[in-house]
Amino acid sequence: MDLKKYAPFIILGLLALLPLTGISTYMLHVLIIVIMWSVIGMAWNLLGGYCGQVSFGHAAFFGMGAYTAGLLYEKLGMSAWWGLPISVPVVTVFALVMGFIFLRLRGPFFALGTLAMGVILRITAENLTGFTGGDLGIMIRERTWVDKTWYFYIILILAAVTYYVIKKVVESKLGYYFVAIREDQDAAESLGIDTTLYKTIALCLSAVITGLAGAFYMNYMGYIDPKVVFALHDISVVTIMVVMVGGVATFSGPIIGALIMVLLAEVIRSIPKLGMAHHTFFGILLIVIIIFLPNGIAGDWPKLKKIFAKGKTA
Amino acid sequence: MTSPQLEVLLQTIIAGLLLGGLYALIGIGMTLIMGVMKIINLAHGELMMVAMYIAYVLYSSFHIDPYLSVFLAAPVLFLLGVLLQKYLITPVLRVDAIIPENQVILTVGIGMVLSNVAAIIFSSDYRSTPVDYSTKAWYLTDIWKGSPIELSLSMPWSVSFVFAVLITVALWFFLAKTDLGKSIRATAQDKDAATLMGVNVGFMRIVSFGLGSSLVGAAGCLFIPIYYLYPDLGGQFTLIAFVITILGGLGSTVGAIVGGLILGVFESLTATYIGMGWAPVGRFVIFVLALIFIPGGILSLFKRRR
């Protein structure tokens, strides 16, 4: 029991020591991407898994964070790292506006509203060529560090803080409100929970964390364009997949999911002929997971265990 | 308004109405699935893309006119819809999950697979069916010599529009007059009551998913003579279908027709007066405005007054 309680700290400690072991740059890169995706997954999980508001438009927040960082660099000549703190108010305001419009919608309609929002932002970024650079995107010409170690520590800290904040929120009264809204919005409302307020809180928190990951992405990759950061399939849907595969409404789910998804993507892309078909693999994986493990690997762990135990005895 | 300006405006509205007729067909397919199944089919545009590739292959290998391929693509899409519903969506409806929107996510997965498979088979190149009548048009001055303004009516657009109207009328007849159609409408209205009246709800769901797919498949075949085709085209049309259904009111066939026409005209106006690239944004502005001000759809405005 104790081991379970300390597991996050042990994992965090081991990860923090990893760059000292002389791990290859490529492995470090993959790890950074895994951690970044688990941050986005945790953010989505707060809104989708706990509060039950399935968003198909997290690319909107991700891209907004990335563009905040990129535009600060491009237009104001500031370091793109300022994007991390400054994206917080920008994304919050955006999430409030979005929440005002879309949170009155329920279930699938909220999902589609957010999906539309992601597409609107992509098209806007593509067309406002004077402001965003359009399809050419934004490129940071001088990188902060050539070495990836510091990027690794920054995203690791971001992930640790995200994990802590989300755990605290979910285990507080707020978290119970979220779950109540997910389970039955009318019942929650009749018990005196201001559902719109709490849904807005969940949305803003989720959006801000995703925006931070986006701002980090700008700094780390050094190049963004609308098709990359506002991508429907490669960002919004992969975000959902990270959580669905790992486990909806679990703390470890998004981390497991990010690990599986990123490694899978790397493996598929490294095989030359299969590289083009990676959406097919993702799509089939998504379909299989939804049909057989609807609560993800962490959520359906007891079920999985049973299947494996049966396999052994048989 | 001077006459050239008037000409542009009228021409834009005509183009918008013709586009709207096709949009309506896409929207009806979506609204039918939404009304009966209570789920949103996010693979709707991808199904249309599949039909367009069928028409493309028929044209490029056998020189079959895209308008004739409607009669082949629609049944194929019907079958595809039935299979998807039977083997993927129905099992998910039974699964107990934390997130209630599993079916919607499932359709996203289906759409991803379809568009990726199309990209693998046909590559991501833009395709079209260069039919010889594609640039033909009728001019107003040919009919009325002394007309003060000049308007033209593109032939493939008009033919597609007429086809769309015919299919819509046929569908209306099917839903309003036949037993099967009535059972589908009963399922959409009240699933439990329909079951009590002896309607096989599971069967109706399969039929309406197939029907919705074949409608959007027909729309795809009507689109290909006037549009170009690429594997990722589906997502855009899924959103169009969704905007139309919101605009027209959920599950309402008449609403989908009205919504389709409004969206067509609006998009045409944005493309002419603001710029081609902004037409999709105009689409979503309508969507957001509809959500805020008329959540029940256009038709609810008239109902309230009564």
Q: CB-based contacts of B175: which residues, under 8 Å, 6+ apart?
A: B181, B182, B184, B185, B253
Does residue B260 sit within a domain? no
Residue A203 tokens, joined: 């949305």
For residues B139 and B152, is the Cβ–Cβ distance under 8 A?
A: yes
Q: From CA B98, how far away is CA B125, in angstroms rounded?
A: 40
Report which of residues B18 and A303 the model is more confident about: B18
Q: From CA A156, how far away is CA A37, in angstroms rounded?
A: 11
pLDDT at position B243: 86
pLDDT at position B125: 82
Residue B18 tokens, joined: 């013709």
Percent of chain A with pLDDT over 90: 37
Rounded to 5 degrees, what are φ and ψ at B163? -55, -45
pLDDT at position B216: 92
pLDDT per residue as tens, chain B (306 positions): 567 788 888 888 888 898 898 999 999 988 888 888 777 888 999 999 999 999 999 988 888 888 888 899 999 999 999 999 888 888 887 777 777 778 888 888 899 899 889 988 888 788 877 777 777 777 777 777 666 677 777 888 888 888 888 998 998 889 888 988 888 888 888 888 888 888 888 888 899 999 999 999 999 998 888 888 888 888 888 888 888 888 887 777 888 888 899 889 888 888 888 877 777 777 877 887 887 777 777 777 776 554
Beta bridge partners of A207: none
For residues A31 and A156, is the Cβ–Cβ distance under 8 A?
A: no
Number of cross-chain residue pairs from A and B with Cβ atoms under 8 Å apart: 127
Give chain B's length: 306
Question: Inter-chain contact B288–A101, Cβ cutoff 8 Å?
Answer: yes
The pLDDT-based confidence of A2 (bands split at 50, 70, 90) is: low
Domain residues for B23? 3-232
Buried/exposed A186-197: b ≥16 CB within 10 Å, e otherwise? eebeeeebebee
Name the DSSP letter for residue B229.
Answer: B
Return the residue matching tokens 């959902």: A240
What tens digit of pLDDT does each residue of A208-254 get? Answer: 999 999 999 999 998 998 888 888 888 888 899 999 888 888 888 89
Give the sign of the dihedral formed by CA A206, CA A207, CA A209, CA A213: positive
Q: Which chain B residue shows the shortest CA-CA distance from A45? A: B99
H or E element in which residue B95 lies: none
H or E element in which residue A31 lies: helix A25-44
Q: From CA B157, how far away is CA B23, in angstroms rounded?
A: 12
Question: Is B242's Cβ below 8 Å from some Cβ in A?
Answer: yes
Q: From CA B195, how far away is CA B202, in angstroms rounded?
A: 10
Buried/exposed A133-147: b ≥16 CB within 10 Å, e otherwise? beeebbebeeeeeee
Structural domain total, chain B:
1
Q: Tell me if residue B19 falls in helix, strand or coil.
A: helix
What tens digit of pLDDT does each residue of A46-103 get? Answer: 999 899 888 988 999 999 999 999 999 988 888 888 889 999 999 999 999 988 888 8
Q: Tell me if residue B9 falls in helix, strand or coil.
A: helix
Q: Tell me if residue B127 falls in helix, strand or coil.
A: strand
Q: From CA B223, how far away is CA B23, in angstroms rounded?
A: 10
Q: From CA A58, how far away is CA A44, in angstroms rounded?
A: 7
Please give, rounded to a whole number of angstroms, the shortest distance from the CA of B159 to a CA of chain A.
31
Q: From CA A168, how far away is CA A33, in angstroms rounded?
A: 25
What does the DSSP assignment read for A72-123?
Answer: HHHHH---GGGHHHHHHHHHHHHHHHHHHHHTTS-HHHHHHHHHHHHHHHHH
The C-alpha angle A71, A43, A210, rounded to 5 degrees, equals 5
Burial class (CB in 10 A: 0-12, 13-18, 19+), A28: middle
Amino acid at B203: F
Is A105's pLDDT higher than 80? Answer: no
Rounded to 5 degrees, what are φ and ψ at A94? -60, -45
Please give, rounded to a whole number of angstroms, the shortest distance from the CA of B113 to a CA of chain A.
4
pLDDT at position B147: 67
What are the Cα distances from residue A88, in Å, to A18, A58, A214, A217, B51? 30, 15, 11, 15, 44
Domains in chain A, please, with CATH? 17-313 (1.10.3470)
B122 contacts on A by Cβ (under 8 Å): none
Beta bridge partners of B137: B154
pLDDT at position B269: 87
Residue B154 tokens, joined: 């593109």
In this structure, the number of other CB atoms found within 10 A of the CB of residue A242 comes to 28
Question: Is B68's Cβ below 8 Å from some Cβ in A?
Answer: no
Name the DSSP letter for residue A251.
Answer: S
Rounded to 5 degrees, what are φ and ψ at A58? -70, -15
Does residue B253 sit within a domain? no
What tens digit of pLDDT does each residue of A124-160 get? Answer: 888 888 888 888 888 888 777 778 888 999 999 999 9
Q: Where in chain A does DSSP place strands (E)? A: 138-139, 223-224
Mutate to test the interface with B, among A182, A280, A289, A300 (most CBs of B within 10 A): A280
Report which of residues A276 and B14 the model is more confident about: B14
Residue B58 tokens, joined: 């028929």
Amino acid at B91: P
pLDDT at position A90: 94
Name the DSSP letter for residue A275.
Answer: G
Does residue B183 sit within a domain? yes
Max mean pLDDT among A43-47, A281-285, B192-196 falls in A43-47
A109 contacts on B by Cβ (under 8 Å): 246
For residues A63 and A229, is the Cβ–Cβ distance under 8 A?
A: yes
A276 contacts on B by Cβ (under 8 Å): 116, 119-120
Q: Among B111, B132, B115, which residue's Cα sits nearest to residue B124?
A: B115
Q: Tell me if residue B139 falls in helix, strand or coil.
A: strand
B99 contacts on A by Cβ (under 8 Å): 48-49, 52, 54, 244, 248, 294
pLDDT at position A306: 82
A121 contacts on B by Cβ (under 8 Å): none
Mutate to test the interface with B, among A287, A301, A303 (most CBs of B within 10 A): A287
For residues B25 and B162, is the Cβ–Cβ distance under 8 A?
A: no
Q: From CA B186, how far away is CA B227, in angstroms rounded?
A: 37
Burial class (CB in 10 A: 0-12, 13-18, 19+), A15: middle
Question: Inter-chain contact B113–A284, Cβ cutoff 8 Å?
Answer: yes
Return the residue matching tokens 């949170």: A103
